[in-house]
Amino acid sequence: MTTYQKRRTRVKCPYCDRDAELITGDKLYPRRADLYTKKFYYCPHDDAYVGCHVGTSAPLGRLANAELRAEKVKTHALFDPIWKSTMMSRTDAYKWLAEQMGLSVANCHIGMFDVDQCKKAQLIILESRYGDTGES
Ligand SMILES: [Zn+2]
């Protein structure tokens, strides 16, 4: 069958290899009414989750536990200023990061990184000329 499958994709938790549950944002973020209808895949055993592409049940990447979520936040905090405060566009910034990390651009998204990749990206940025792109 080549038609769109109505049945939801099976998404596995990368930590325990069990099927993740498809839930809505109200369960994860009771205070964020704007996320109530957004879908997430969630693993209660690892407190790991990932959001879905808007309006679909397609996961944005792999499920992330608390450690990985913290690393992603750190990576974004270093990476985002590159395209926010230099002449580089977001696309170009990801292209640059992909090159440095030896990844294809399609696979180079912080949302798809694991903990090691997050740490590698953080080092790359810190050691590059973008490392001190701060508020001046
Ligand atoms: Zn799990």
pLDDT tens for residues 65-78?
999 999 999 999 99
| pTM exceeding the 0.75 threshold for the entire prediction | yes
Give me the residue spans of the domains in the chain: 3-51, 66-130
Do 88 and 102 meet the contact criterion of CB atoms below 8 Å apart?
Answer: no
73 CA to centre of ligand 1 in angstroms: 21
In this structure, which residues have their CB less than 5 angstroms from ion ligand 1? 13, 15-16, 43, 45-46
Residue from 38, 37, 80 nearest 59 by CA: 38
120 contact partners, CB below 8 Å, separation of at least 6: 101
Q: How far apart are the first and last CA of the chain?
A: 56
Q: What is the mean pLDDT of residues 89-100?
A: 96
pLDDT at 2: 43
What separation in Å is there between the alpha carbon of 16 and the centre of ligand 1? 4
Ligand 1 geometric centre to CA of 71 (Å): 18
CA of 75 from ligand 1 middle (Å) equals 23
Query: Considering only CA atoms, which of 23, 21, 47, 44 is closest in space to residue 35?
Result: 23
Mean pLDDT of the chain: 89
Please write the tens of the pLDDT for every residue from 41-71.
999 999 999 999 988 999 988 899 999 999 9
Distance 25 CA to ligand 1 centre (A): 18
The reported pLDDT for the residue numbered 132 is 66
d(CA 86, CA 81): 7
Could you give phi then psi for residue 49, rounded to 5 degrees? -155, 165
